[in-house]
């Protein structure tokens, strides 16, 4: 696969307090594991919490176009693995 | 004109309270400012009480506008009690009332004469003397001056002019001439130095010439600087009417001065409307705040509520120079004179989910609190627009 997998960690207020502050470790760990096949970055806000608020699924992470709700490091890594298959 | 004012103080050594008292207040409606510096007799708590009472009472008298400043000062001069031990007055004072056009009235009793600098030359203003009817050794000086852009005024307590007194090199202390030399040299070097920095510099220099660098008296320096205001704009929160996004983005873009955005949604809005990409800082956020982002034409982009809450905390506690997003926002605000807040009134429902682990304040309230502390504590001019 030639396309890079893009991982966007939402660092907006809701996601940040709901745990995306811990997801920032991905910025360090992912390049170590996958090299330059995956690109991880923070984004100011994905704008998802204001749409999805009734179900409160923050923090959100986007792996390519797939939205991961209640994201954890494990969930994100699993999603990356699937994209790289 | 903007009047940049600040005061720096140092206690007499071995004392735990300041014997000089400085108070300043801006009156945005009347476009004027009043500042008072008082030096209480003696030092420590006693002097603190005396100077605090004199300064606050004089400020109240002047702001009342019922009587002219010279009359207010005269009444205070005539009624200040005499110390039983030293037979001199309880406290001395200097006060200035000045509007944004530079029209100033200044009164002085007992404090060292103020220094007025224009084009790095010391000016000699005319004054009227009002001798006290009740006390022979008291005399009020009243000045009427029209200050111009670039002028500087320095008030100080005798702790500055008498620093180094009796020491090795300066037998008579620093005196007025010494202080003028220090200030002129500094201004030669840094013509645009802020009042905060100049006041701190004067106080530190005065301390440095004291024997063993221990102040023998309370040291205070108050500096006024008449200059063009430094404008800043902070845009936070998405506007209530989404259809007006483009209009607000244009307002933001057209603003002349420094610009900051606090809020992810707000940053996205500006990015979308002005077609400018956002890049996020790749470093991992320090502590409990999300990192800053970058956008062309914007000086600072941060997260919203959490950063603003922390910013208020730093402003309240007076802790600048902290290396995180809120620290940067504090610096942004303090490096400006006139600050406009564009506050979007739209609420993000997700912030009110009780499952959220910390208290998230309502944006309007936190901005109001930040505005108050900037106005009252840092003497900034603040303007809030809700959208």
Question: For residue range A51-63, what is the model confidence (pLDDT) as tens digits?
Answer: 866 667 889 999 9
So what's the pLDDT on residue B112?
94
Confidence of residue B225 (pLDDT cuts 50, 70, 90): very high
At the topology level, CATH places domain A5-84 in: Glutaredoxin (3.40.30)
- Asked whether the beta carbons of residue A16 and residue B265 sit closer than 8 angstroms, the reply is no
Tell whether A34 is within 8 A of chain B (Cβ): no
Of B184 and B356, the structure prediction assigns the larger pLDDT to: B184
So what's the pLDDT on residue A53?
61
Confidence of residue B57 (pLDDT cuts 50, 70, 90): very high
| Chain A residues within an 8 Å CB radius of B263 | 13, 44-45
Are residue B330 and residue B310 in the same domain, yes or no?
yes
* Burial class of residue B93 (count of CB atoms within 10 Å of its CB; 0-12, 13-18, 19+): buried
So what's the pLDDT on residue B261?
95
Tokens describing residue B51: 């100077």
Are residue B282 and residue B256 in the same domain, yes or no?
yes
Are residue B360 and residue B373 in the same domain, yes or no?
yes
Are residue B210 and residue B300 in the same domain, yes or no?
no
Domain that holds residue B288: 231-386
Are residue B206 and residue B242 in the same domain, yes or no?
no
What is the rounded CA–CA span in Å between residue B230 and residue B361?
29
Residue B90 has pLDDT above 90, yes or no: no
Are residue B62 and residue B210 in the same domain, yes or no?
yes
Q: Which of A32-46, B281-295, B307-321 has the lowest mean pLDDT?
A: B281-295
pLDDT (tens digit, 9 = 90+) per residue, B149-190?
999 999 999 999 999 887 767 778 899 999 999 999 999 999
Are residue B217 and residue B237 in the same domain, yes or no?
no
Residue B359 has pLDDT above 70, yes or no: no
Q: Which of B168-177, B199-208, B260-269, B350-359 has the lowest mean pLDDT?
A: B350-359
Residue A2 has pLDDT above 60, yes or no: no
Q: Which of A30-44, A60-74, B90-104, B212-226 has the lowest mean pLDDT?
A: A30-44
Q: Which of B227, B248, B266 is the last residue of a domain?
A: B227
Q: Which of B166, B199, B227 is the last residue of a domain?
A: B227
| Chain A residues within an 8 Å CB radius of B278 | 43-44
Q: What is the mean pLDDT of residues B189-214?
A: 92
Are residue B90 and residue B218 in the same domain, yes or no?
yes
Residue B240 C-alpha, separation from nearest chain A C-alpha, in angstroms: 14
Max avg pLDDT among A73-77, B167-171, B233-237 = B233-237
Beta bridge partner(s), residue B279? B294
What is the rounded CA–CA span in Å between residue B164 and residue B253?
53
What is the rounded CA–CA span in Å between residue B95 and residue B74?
12
Provide the mean pLDDT of chain A: 84
Q: Which of B293, B305, B353 sits opposite A56 (nearest CB)?
A: B353
Chain B: residue whose CA lies nearest to A29 = B284
Residue B218 has pLDDT above 60, yes or no: yes
What is the rounded CA–CA span in Å between residue B143 and residue B326?
43
Q: Which of B108-122, B272-286, B307-321 has the lowest mean pLDDT?
A: B272-286
Are residue B267 and residue B193 in the same domain, yes or no?
no
Tell whether B286 is within 8 A of chain A (Cβ): no
Provide the mean pLDDT of chain B: 90
Are residue B210 and residue B341 in the same domain, yes or no?
no
Q: What is the domain count for chain B?
A: 2
* Other residues' Cβ atoms within 10 Å of the Cβ of residue B220: 29
Q: Decide: pTM greater than 0.80.
A: no
Pick from B239, B96, B201, B226: nearest CA to B155: B96
Q: What is the mean pLDDT of residues A17-23?
A: 84
Which of 49-68 (A) contact B at CB < 8 A? 49-50, 52-54, 56, 58
Q: What is the mean pLDDT of residues B53-73?
A: 91
pLDDT (tens digit, 9 = 90+) per residue, B329-342?
999 999 898 999 99
Say which CATH number the domain at B146 has. Answer: 3.60.40.10
So what's the pLDDT on residue B149?
95
User: Which positions ≥6 away from B231 have C-beta within 8 Å?
Assistant: B255, B256, B257, B258, B336, B337, B338, B340
Angle between the N-to-C axes of helices B264-274 and B245-254, in degrees from 0 to 180, rounded to the nearest 10: 80
* Burial class of residue B260 (count of CB atoms within 10 Å of its CB; 0-12, 13-18, 19+): buried
So what's the pLDDT on residue B221?
96
Q: Which of B169, B200, B227 is the last residue of a domain?
A: B227
Are residue B210 and residue B236 in the same domain, yes or no?
no
Pick from B333, B271, B347: nearest CA to A45: B271
Are residue B114 and residue B191 in the same domain, yes or no?
yes
Residue A14 C-alpha, separation from nearest chain B C-alpha, in angstroms: 6
So what's the pLDDT on residue B252?
93
Residue B179, phi then psi, degrees to nearest 5:
-65, -45
């Amino acid at each position: 696969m030639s396309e890079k997998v893009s991982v966007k960690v939402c660092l907006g207020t809701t996601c940040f307090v709901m745990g995306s502050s811990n997801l920032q470790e991905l910025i360090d760990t992912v390049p170590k594991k996958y090299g330059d096949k995956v690109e991880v970055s923070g984004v100011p806000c994905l704008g998802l919490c204001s749409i999805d608020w009734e179900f409160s699924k923050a923090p959100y992470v986007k792996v390519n176009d797939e939205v991961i709700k209640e994201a954890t490091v494990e969930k994100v890594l699993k999603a990356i693995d699937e994209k790289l298959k | 004109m903007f009047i940049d004012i600040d005061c720096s103080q140092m206690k007499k050594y071995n004392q735990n309270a300041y014997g000089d008292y400085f108070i300043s207040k801006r009156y945005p409606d009347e476009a004027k400012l009043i500042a008072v510096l008082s030096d209480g007799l003696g030092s420590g708590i006693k002097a603190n009480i005396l100077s605090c009472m004199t300064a606050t009472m004089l400020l109240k008298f002047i702001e009342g506008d019922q009587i002219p400043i010279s009359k207010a000062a005269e009444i205070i001069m005539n009624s200040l009690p005499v110390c039983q031990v030293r037979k001199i007055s309880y406290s001395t004072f200097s006060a200035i009332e000045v509007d944004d056009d530079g029209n100033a009235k200044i009164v002085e009793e007992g404090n060292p004469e103020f220094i007025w600098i224009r084009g790095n030359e010391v000016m000699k203003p005319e004054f009227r003397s009002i001798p006290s009817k009740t006390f022979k050794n008291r005399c009020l000086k009243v000045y009427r001056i029209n200050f111009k852009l670039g002028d500087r005024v320095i008030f100080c307590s005798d702790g500055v002019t008498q620093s180094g007194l009796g020491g090795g090199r300066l037998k008579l202390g620093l005196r007025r001439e010494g202080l003028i030399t220090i200030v002129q040299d500094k201004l030669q070097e840094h013509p645009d130095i802020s009042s905060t920095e100049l006041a701190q510099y004067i106080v530190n220099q005065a301390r440095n010439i004291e024997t063993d660098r221990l102040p023998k008296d309370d040291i205070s320096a108050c500096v006024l600087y008449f200059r063009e205001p430094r404008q800043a704009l902070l845009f936070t929160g998405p506007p209530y009417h989404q259809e007006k996004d483009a209009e607000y983005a244009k307002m933001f873009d057209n603003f002349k001065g420094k610009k900051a955005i606090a809020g992810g949604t707000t940053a996205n809005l500006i990015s979308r409307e002005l077609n400018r990409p956002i890049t996020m800082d790749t470093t991992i956020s320090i502590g409990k705040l999300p990192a800053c982002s970058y956008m062309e034409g914007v000086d600072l982009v941060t997260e919203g509520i959490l950063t603003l809450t922390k910013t208020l905390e730093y402003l309240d506690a007076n802790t600048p120079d902290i290396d995180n997003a809120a620290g940067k926002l504090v610096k942004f605000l303090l490096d400006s004179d006139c600050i406009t807040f564009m506050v979007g009134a739209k609420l993000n429902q997700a912030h009110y989910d009780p499952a959220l682990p910390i208290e998230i304040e309502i944006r309007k309230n936190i901005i109001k609190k930040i505005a108050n502390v900037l106005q009252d504590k840092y003497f900034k001019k603040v303007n809030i627009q809700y959208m």
